[in-house]
Chain A
């Protein structure tokens, strides 16, 4: 009979607690909007953070609440954006697709090195040692901070310079944000001509440190039929809204720093 006391007491204790939890679960139930789950299904699920929210589920919540546009995530496919709009019963305005582009052509063979860097393989760390290994203070450091933040495997280091895979890039902008040199720009996907240099050094200075830099000769500016190129601070810059991708500048550039894809 002695054994019955603990059995009964613990059994009753368990039953009471179980009943309490059951009642509490019903009374304290949190209503969750089912549409959040549905929207989440349609987002890429990479949790890259490019939208500025903590992850895809946070963005899904914001979209359902109406705080964010369904087009906020550049990685979402067109048909999925339409489906999200259907779920929420709203009309979305189309947003131009952007891709990242590394505006530097100073590969290891073209850009001179100041010293040999042997620290952590991270651009931000390398940047702290006199602005990085390369003599050019504007170019790609080449230690792949952008590679590590890309959730879509769309950017890689090739011969000391980061290169974006246009097919894979969804335009989230994480690489452009992390780059300590700001050498990565977000450019409309339909743009085909680029100035692959960010150096604002004078031509005479630049010639000594990189054989692939823009020297600011203004040949492109003079020859552009749409006046879409303007040289400021010794660097040619294309106005993407005016450029017709004709490719004349590509032919005229003496340093072959303007390229067409």
Chain B
């Protein structure tokens, strides 16, 4: 199987079968927090996709050239958190300097990503699965896309719930949790498909 087909299958299975939010339950905090409007959900997920892709690449390099040679893989979590935090800060500065328009669109979401567990999750999963550099980057990118798919779908439903006639006890957050559960169950249907 050529590398290209392999990568396409990897990203498809990440987006649908092993969806980060709805199947692996990573990044639940922003999934519930910034999903009230489709536009903000889209902004957040674009920022997450960007950071996850870059973080996959950087953490792979740290793992391969720093942690493994010195035999301290057990410090993974600490090192990865450090890398991600620095990366987010740096990306924020660069965007603010060179693209104020993009900064205004993503600006408020970027600092939130530092503590997004989906980003740390993708870095750790890369190591666990033993992916090489190119696989890691593709996995990170499609992980971001899977986050986008989940949160945008959810935000679309929540926008409609705003005007729906909901029983008083379920209004607000309870119905959001029920909705999230139903969407996650729908995504379970994909795990019947094997790639």
Where the two chains meet, the residues of A that have a C-beta atom closer than 8 Å to any C-beta of B are 5-6, 9-10, 13-14, 17, 20-21, 24-25, 28-30, 120
Contacts and interface: CB of A to CB of B under 8 A. Distances in A.
Contacts of B90: 20-21, 24
Interface in B48-100: 62, 66, 70-72, 75, 78-79, 82-83, 86, 89-90, 93-94, 96-97, 100
Contact of A28 (B62, B79, B93): B93
Contacts of B2: none
Contacts of B71: 5
Contacts, number: 40
Given A17-B86, A28-B97, A120-B163, 16 more contacts: A5-B70, A5-B71, A6-B72, A10-B75, A10-B78, A10-B82, A13-B62, A13-B79, A17-B82, A20-B86, A21-B86, A21-B90, A24-B93, A24-B94, A30-B96, A30-B97
Contacts of B96: 28, 30
Interface residues of B, number: 19
Contacts of A30: 96-97, 100
Nearest to B66: A9
A144 B161 CA distance: 22
Contact of A5 (B72, B79, B163): B72
A21 B87 CA distance: 9
29 contacts: A5-B72, A6-B70, A6-B72, A9-B66, A9-B70, A9-B72, A9-B75, A10-B75, A10-B79, A10-B82, A13-B66, A13-B82, A14-B82, A17-B82, A17-B83, A17-B86, A20-B90, A21-B86, A21-B89, A24-B90, A25-B93, A28-B93, A28-B94, A28-B96, A28-B97, A29-B97, A30-B96, A30-B97, A120-B163
Contacts of B79: 10, 13
Contacts of A29: 97
Interface-central residue, B62, B82, B83, by most chain A CB under 10 Å: B82
B contacts with A: majority SS: helix
Interface of B: 62, 66, 70-72, 75, 78-79, 82-83, 86, 89-90, 93-94, 96-97, 100, 163
A107 to B, nearest CB: 28
Contacts of B72: 5-6, 9
Contacts of A17: 82-83, 86
Nearest to B104: A54
B92 to A, nearest CB: 10
B107 to A, nearest CB: 12
A120 B163 CA distance: 8
B163 A6 contact: no
Nearest to B86: A17
B102 to A, nearest CB: 13
Nearest to B89: A21
Contacts of A6: 70, 72, 75
B69 to A, nearest CB: 10
B82 to A, nearest CB: 6
Contacts of B82: 10, 13-14, 17
Nearest to B103: A30
